[in-house]
Amino acid sequence: MKIPWDFFAKRMKDRFSVKRAMLVSMALHDMSVVELSARTNLAQGQLSALRSGVNKNPTINTIISICAALAMPISQFVAYGEPENEKELLRNYPF
């Protein structure tokens, strides 16, 4: 049985969160928006908009820049954006 692309896209849209991926990635790498901005050459405002959830649709180039700065594969960034991973990943992180 072939699953239609729109079914997959809707499921990912309902589950994946750029905001969650940014928060978890930055927390686990102990990196601030200022540091990430310096490493990616992206504006602090652009990164803050992603982290706060104002911008929910970054370009692939933006995600590639963020992942390169954090030395992580895109697949890991995406995994951090899944709701079931957030609690497990941040359980022992001191805020």
pLDDT at residue 8, as a whole number = 45
pTM of model > 0.85: no
pLDDT at 86: 59
* Residue pLDDT, tens place only, 54-95: 988 889 899 999 999 999 998 888 888 877 665 666 665 554
Q: Determine contact, residues 16/83, Cβ cutoff 8 Å.
A: no
For residue 53, what pLDDT is reported?
86
Burial (CB < 10 A; 0-12, 13-18, 19+), residue 94, is: exposed
